[in-house]
Amino acid sequence: MKKAVLFERTEGKEVRCLACCHYCRIKDGNKGICGVRKNINGILYLMVYGKPISIAVDPVEKKPLFHFLPGTKILSFGTVGCNFKCEFCQNWDISQEREDYGSNDMAPDEIVKLAKEKNTGSIAFTYNEPTIFVEYAHDIAKLAKKQGIKSVFVSNGYESKESLEYISKYLDAINIDLKSFNEKFYLKVCKAQLKHVLSTIKLAHKLGIWVEVTTLLIPDMNDSDGDTRQIADFIASVSSTIPWHVTAFHPDYKMEDTHATTKKSLLRAYKTGKKAGLKYVYTGNIDLDGHETTYCPKCGKELIKREFMSVTLNDMKDGKCSKCKTGIEGIWK
C-alpha cells in the first residue's frame, strides 16, 4: 500500500481519483470502481502497490504488439482489480477481485531486477488494467528506462488525461482495446463509455507513445461490417500507420453461451481495415496463413513472418524494407 499521486481532495474527507476516466468521488473508507484505490482518512492509497498477482515471461507478440521489438521476450505482470466489468474477460479471476490483493511483495526495483535476470528488453503492465495501478507502473517504468528496458501498457484505454501525461515520459508503447464503436455496447458489456477510449487513442498517439489497437470480434455484438468499418475508419483518421489487430473471441466468464468467432468474420474485418487505408492489419487467436505477417506497404515484400506468436522470419533492415528501403513504422530496437 502506498499513497497515490493522482487524486485531489474535494469536500471534507472525500477525494476525487484522477487515474482513469471514471474520476471516482470516493468517501472516507471506500474504494473506487477498480477496488484497489482506497480513501483512508482523506488520503487516496493504492492498495496493490508492490503486489503483483501474476508474473510471466511472454513473447512480445502475445500482447499483441507486432511493431515493437519483434521476436523478443517481455516480462508481463498485473495486479488484481479493474475499472471495467467486461462480461467476456479472460482474466476475470484477477481483474474482478476486490478484496484479496495477494501475498507477493515486489518493489519497483525488484521488478526491474527480474526483467534483467530474465533478459527481457521490456516490461508489460498487463493481465488487468494497468491504469488502476499507474503510480506503481510509473515507478517501475522510470527505473526500467534508466536500465535501457522499455515499458508497455496493455490497456482498455480508459486512462485519464492526467494519468497518461503522468506516465507518458516513461511509456514506450501501448496496445489499446477498442472493443466496439457502439456506445450502448460499452455501457452494457463493459460499464464504461466509448468516447473516453477514443480520446485516449488520440492522446497516446499525440504524446508519441507507439500505439497498436486490438478489437476482439464477438459474434452478433461487434462484428458486423458497419461496426468494423467504423472502427477502421476511426483508427485511420488518427493515423493509417497504427496497426489494427482483429482477434477471435472464445467463450468465457459471463459469455460462455456465445459462439466463437469464425475465420470468415476475421477475414471480413481484415479486408475492411485494408479498405479503410490502414497499412497494417493483423488477425489473431485463429490461424490464418499470412494474416499475422508484416508486409511492406509499398512493394508488398514479406518482412516479418509470425506463426503462433513466434517470429519465423525477420527481413527488416534498420527499420526499413530490405528490398525497397521504405521505412516501416514501429519500435525496432
> pLDDT per position in the chain (333 positions), as tens?
999 999 999 989 999 999 999 999 999 999 999 999 999 999 999 999 999 999 999 999 999 999 999 999 999 999 999 999 987 887 878 888 777 888 789 999 999 999 999 999 999 999 999 999 999 999 999 999 999 999 999 999 999 999 999 999 999 999 999 999 999 999 999 999 999 999 999 999 999 999 999 999 998 889 899 999 999 999 999 999 999 999 998 776 676 677 788 899 999 999 999 999 999 999 988 877 779 999 999 999 999 999 888 899 999 999 999 999 999 999 999
Which class in CATH covers the domain with range 54-292? alpha beta
Q: Are strands 122-125 and 37-40 parallel, antiparallel or unpaired?
A: unpaired
Residue type, 149: I
pLDDT of the residue at 253: 66
Domain segments of the chain as ranges: 2-46, 54-292
The model's pTM: 0.95
**Cell of residue 316, nine digits:** 527488416
Q: How far is CA 256 from the centre of its chain?
A: 23
Could you tell me the end-to-end alpha-carbon distance of the chain, in angstroms, rounded to an integer? Answer: 35
Give me the pLDDT at residue 93, please: 82
Q: How many helices (H) and strands (E) does the chain have?
A: 8, 19
From the CA atom positions of the chain, what is the Rg in Å?
20
Residue type, 184: K
Q: Taking the CA atoms of 204, 207, 209 and 211 in sequence, report the sign of the dihedral they define.
A: positive
Contacts of 141 (CB under 8 A, 6+ apart): 123, 151, 167, 170, 171
Residue 206's pLDDT is 98
What is the rounded distance in angstroms from the CA atom of residue 133 to the CA atom of residue 321? Answer: 38
Determine the pLDDT at residue 214.
98
Instruction: Tell me which residue has cell 491504469.
Output: 131
Residues forming beta bridges with residue 249, ordered by sequence position: none
pLDDT at residue number 223: 87
